[in-house]
């Protein structure tokens, strides 16, 4: 079923582009005519992206029995961007000082996650050029490298 869908989308690229443009125009018109609010639309799309990232993480785990840290960091980054939009747009709930404080905190967290993301890409154990990167394997667990030291 998924293969058929991929094949259909690859064969009909112009149909996909027309559908994307049409959906963007419809959402824009709904925002312009005040049917939906701009902030609600952005936060809904960002939440949708977080859900897609979580689904990607689950799919990757089922397929390879491992989770890439970069996928987890991506979903956290998107989630904190969504929170910044919510805090920045909600002027009734937060004072200006609270908004600046929360947004600054969220930006610091996002910066930290970006640093972790870059490090996870640079020092990935699956990288063929990374011979010095320690990869935890089943052999390491079986060899006793990770024993429980609480039995002292």
Closest to 116 (Cα-Cα) out of 148, 79, 68, 81: 68
Provide block-wise average pLDDT over 10 residues at a time, the chain (152 residues).
83 90 93 91 91 88 84 91 90 87 94 91 64 51 51 46
State the pTM of this model: 0.65
Q: What is the pLDDT of residue 92?
A: 85
CB 94 within 8 A of CB 102: yes
- State the first-to-last Cα distance of the chain, in angstroms, to the nearest integer: 55
Contact 53, 75 (CB under 8 A): yes
Q: What is the pLDDT of residue 22?
A: 95
User: CA angle, corner 107, sides to 105 and 110, nearest 5?
Assistant: 110
Please compute Rg for the chain using Cα positions: 22
Q: Number of C-alpha atoms within 13 angstroms, CB side, residue 151?
A: 2
**Domain positions in the chain:** 37-125
């Amino acid at each position: 079923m998924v293969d058929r869908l991929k094949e259909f989308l690859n064969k009909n690229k112009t149909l996909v582009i027309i559908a994307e443009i049409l959906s963007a125009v419809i959402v824009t018109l709904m925002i312009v005519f005040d049917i939906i609010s701009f902030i609600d639309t952005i936060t809904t799309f960002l939440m949708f992206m977080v859900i897609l990232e979580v689904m990607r993480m689950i799919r990757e785990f089922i397929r390879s029995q491992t989770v890439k840290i970069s996928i987890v960091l991506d979903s956290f980054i998107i989630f904190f961007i969504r929170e910044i939009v919510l805090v920045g747009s909600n002027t009734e709930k937060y004072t200006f000082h609270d908004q600046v404080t929360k947004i600054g905190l969220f930006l610091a967290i996002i910066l930290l996650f970006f640093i972790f993301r870059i490090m996870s890409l640079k020092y990935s154990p699956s990288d063929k050029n990374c011979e010095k990167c320690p990869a935890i394997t089943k052999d390491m667990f079986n060899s006793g490298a990770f024993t429980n030291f609480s039995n002292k």
